[in-house]
Amino acid sequence: MRETSHLLFLPGITGDGAFWRPVAELLPTGSVNTFVSYPGLGRQPASADVNGPDDLLARAAQALTRPTAVVAQSMGGVLAIQLAARHPELVTHLVLVATSGGFDVRRHGATDWRPGFLQSFPATPAWALAPPPDLTDELARLRMPVLLIWGDEDAISPVAAGEYLASRLPNATLHVVPGGTHSLALEQPERVAALIAAHLR
């Protein structure tokens, strides 16, 4: 990981950048880690300057100031793909974990996560629950190395979704984690950290 000393971590729709800290703490030392949170989502305080997906993307882009490896969970993968497509000179590596947007995951057997999420977070803004943009055309343009990490027990983004991304990305490797659910980065941080460290080397 010597060549990539800056890592940018993007969480899923719960919006808490601290989601990634257990994994980051297991990565080799010496990197500069930036954790982005999403105001107004999950338990994150709202902010007047975040009122939609474009605002989240702008917030993530502000943290992308030098060559960086971008690591993203679930909905964060939508932002990560857009960052990589718009700033290929800055995104050196991409890690997508259980990405559940940017393409129609329902076609790959995904269940709808929104009802359960709304029960836990009833104040979730409507824009966060809307279908994400279709990023299919962007995928073929991503030339950086991409690591795809999926759990074989993930109902929100099934392995078939990871296989679809692997077929569309020019330089992608898919790893399926046995027993992993949609929260596999929290459940198996040692395994996820080891895969990321190997990818960055």
Q: What is the pLDDT of residues 162-184, one digit of tens each?
A: 999 999 999 999 999 999 999 99
Q: What is the per-residue pLDDT for 29?
A: 84
Q: What is the DSSP letter of 130?
A: S
Sketch the domain layout of the chain as residue ranges: 6-200
Ramachandran region, residue 40 (left: φ > 0; alpha: ψ -120 to 50; beta: rest): left
**What is the band of 3 on the pLDDT scale with cuts at 50, 70, 90?**
low
Terminal CA-CA length for the chain: 4
CB-based contact 40:64 (threshold 8 Å): no
* The architecture CATH gives domain 6-200: 3-Layer(aba) Sandwich (3.40)
Question: Which residues have C-beta within 8 Å of that of residue 115, sequence separation ≥ 6?
Answer: none
Q: What is the pLDDT of residues 9-62, one digit of tens each?
A: 999 999 999 999 999 999 988 889 999 999 999 999 999 999 999 999 999 999
Query: Is pTM beyond 0.85 here?
Result: yes
CB-based contact 117:125 (threshold 8 Å): no
